[in-house]
Structure 1
Amino acid sequence: MASGRATALEFAKRQSRLVLWDINKHGVEETAAECEKLGATVQTFVVDCSKREEIYSTAEKVKKDIGDVTILVNNAGVITAADFLSTQDHQIERMFDVNILGHMWTTRAFLPVMMNNNYGHIVTVASAAGHFVVPYMVTYCSSKFAAVGFHKALTEELSALGKDGIKTTCLCPVFINTGFVKNPSTRLGKILEIEEVVETLMEGIVTNKNMVFVPPNQSVALLLERVFPERALNLLKKMSEVKFDAVIGQRSTQ
């Protein structure tokens, strides 16, 4: 919610017409009030982005009552930090339902009009965990790899279909100070503040940047991963020392 709110506020500063979705009624109404103070027109909907039918029916309401959506920001995401066998079945399902399937359902709902007009922008908020893996986040990394793959494949498909007026942007930040992950740390640099991530995202949207890394040195790390031998990569991983609180050793499948 925190990064979604910050993104909404940035759009509000640009006098956008906003349609805000969130599972939390109180939270989305608070965000709307803040956006309206900045001069934006705002409509809110309470939607569980893990439920396909809710997404489709709300999208129909938006199209009927408000009109065409020209920028879609898929920001919904959930995380459970635990070893794979300690992660519960329902947690695994929810991470995939929200982190990737929710993105697909919203895109399928709003893409047809963009295709007809050959105009629009689809933003996928993914993660550095969609490019690099860390222990105790097996499911989360898997869902974010899927989100990055969805963005890349959709970008290629739109190009193949000649829809050059529809832009795509994928945001991949490292740990952000949102409270979702407890006590994160890394030797690679400081934990990001929401505002700096959203500022970089907005710049990426405005300049039609396809892949936005925060911090930008991730793109160098990605290149190194492709060209360095495995022994050197293991050394780099030890040097980066990514840490956070996780549930370990509580075997459960319920």
Structure 2
Amino acid sequence: MNFFLETLKVIVLVVYYLLESLVFFVVPGRKKNVSGEIVLITGAGSGIGRLLALKFASLGATVVLWDINQEGLNCTVRLAREKGAGRVHSYVCDCSKRQDVYRLADQVKKEVGDVSILINNAGIVIGKRFLDSPDSLIEKTMEVNTMAHFWTYKAFLPAMIAANHGHLVSIASGAGLCGTSQASDYCASKFAAIGFAESIDMEMRALRKTGVKTTIVCPYVINTGMFDGVKSKWPRMVPVLDPEYVAERIITAVRQNQEVLLIPRLAHLLCFLKSFLPVKVLVLLLDYFGLIEIMNTFKGRPKKE
């Protein structure tokens, strides 16, 4: 009897959650208040990290900025304070170095307090074919894009668990959902980041820490300079994303406790098709959308930045 009752319960809940998801898709849920939260953002010296810092600060959050670039950090702090944000703290941090992360995490806890929203945004890309990629740069990609998430979670998750309150945000990539040419290390690092974030989410659920939320963000190419040179084959259908738009979507996803954010929505269709289509058909579609050789024109951010 337990088997049948359990099965019935699962069927009812599946239907309920599907209907709930449909309702929230049509009528967005209530946004939680982030005023007073301590938000730590890695890679906050430029791009999406900077925009997220400015937007969280404008919502009344205390923002803690980490970046390896002191000049970029100073610019973000100045912009935040020009907008009237008073609680802004910045630290130069090489997120690829575990001891650097742990040391600065302890400093943040003493000087600012326990981080309640952690946004792992720092990332790098080489953009070379696998055999042309130096070993040292491959290691660096994995250290920044993946391993840094382990160290920041280790540093800040315990306090979230103790309070049963917090939010873990992983800025991953569409490249973590489907591999592409000239990005083997980048794709591997983003696949790993997604798997890691999903696993931690399951751990929080198993521990009944329902107050610790997780959001995984998988965007297409964003026009921040990181992927300079990359062009969309069909700009009207799959445009290179505007940074302001992406940052606003991320803020909304966090405030609505959305677990997964794929940008653009077309990515949902590609993920669905990938799950059952023959590989040759999938390759045909990826080629049609220009995703297989999208890195051929890659230049990357100028060195001076």
The normalised TM-score by structure 1 is 0.94
User: Residue by residue, what CA displacement relative to the aligned partner does 1:202-243 show, whole Å, maximum 9, x if unpaired?
Assistant: 110000001101111201110011122223212211211132
Letter in 2 for 1:151: A
1:167 to 179, 190, 213: 213
Q: Does 1:26 align with 2:75?
A: no
2:168 maps to 122
Q: Which residue in the other structure is 1:250 paired with?
A: none
Large movers: runs of 4+ above 3 Å: none
Aligned to 2:270, which of 212, 217, 221? Answer: 221
Q: 1:95 & 1:230 partners in 2: Cα distance?
A: 27
The Cα offsets for residues 172-191 of structure 1, whole Å up to 9 and x where unpaired, read as: 10111122223212335110
- Which deviates more from structure 2 when the two are superposed, residues 173-182 or residues 108-117? 173-182
Out of 28, 40, 57, which is 1:12 matched to?
57
User: What is the DSSP-based 3-state SS (H/G/I as helix, E as strand, rest coil) of the residue aligned with 2:168?
Assistant: strand
Partner of 1:235: 284
Kept in 2: contact 1:15–1:39 (CA 8 A): no
* TM-score for both structures, normalised by structure 2: 0.79
The alignment partner of 1:167 has SS state of strand
The separation in 1 between residues aligned to 2:161 and 2:262, in whole angstroms, is 27
Match of 2:81 among 36, 57, 82: 36
1:198 matches 2:247: yes
Contact 2:230 2:298 in 1 (8 A): no
Deviation, 1:246, is 5.0
Counterpart mapping for 1:103-114 below 5 A: 103-114=149-160
Residue 155 of structure 1 pairs with residue 201 of structure 2: yes
- Distance in 2 (CA, whole Å) between partners of 1:43 and 1:180 is 24
Structure number with greater CO (CA < 8 Å, separation at least 6) is 1
How many residues of Structure 1 are paired with residues of Structure 2 in the alignment? 247
CA distance in 2, matches of 1:103, 1:44: 19
Distance 1:182 1:2 in 2: 12
Of structures 1 and 2, the larger Rg is shown by 2
- Unpaired runs of 5+ in structure 1? 248-254
> Distance in 2 between the 1:149 and 1:246 partners?
26
